[in-house]
Amino acid sequence: MDVIRFRFDGRGIEAEQGQSIGAALIAAGYRSWRSTRRTGQPRGVFCGIGVCFDCLVTVNGSPNQRACLTEARHDDQVATQEGAGRDHLAG
């Protein structure tokens, strides 16, 4: 199985080729990578099938990517998402 590497909040993460970002983060020991808009509660994978949107991350500058469905790719820059993750749209 081929191994790829990506960055999560600046830290190196290894994943198997074809593995989702969410699966790779869980395998690396992470359980949450987003906070809710109003109360800032931590969220990670809940449904694991693309329905709940709890697992949103920012990937290569694009917010609102579902980590459970998004395939990890070599050299991706993945970041924790705060709130709605739409700061780049302001202004």
Site residues (vs ligand FES, CB under 6 A)? 45-48, 50-55, 66, 68
Minimum gap (Å) between residue 32 Cβ and ligand FES: 11
Minimum gap (Å) between residue 69 Cβ and ligand FES: 6
- In sequence order, which residues have a C-beta less than 8 Å from that of residue 60 and are 6 or more positions away? 76, 77
Minimum gap (Å) between residue 91 Cβ and ligand FES: 29
Taking the least distance from each CB to ligand FES, the nearer of 52 and 79 is: 52
Provide the strand spans (E) within 1-91.
3-8, 11-16, 34-35, 42-43, 56-59, 62-66, 77-79, 81-82
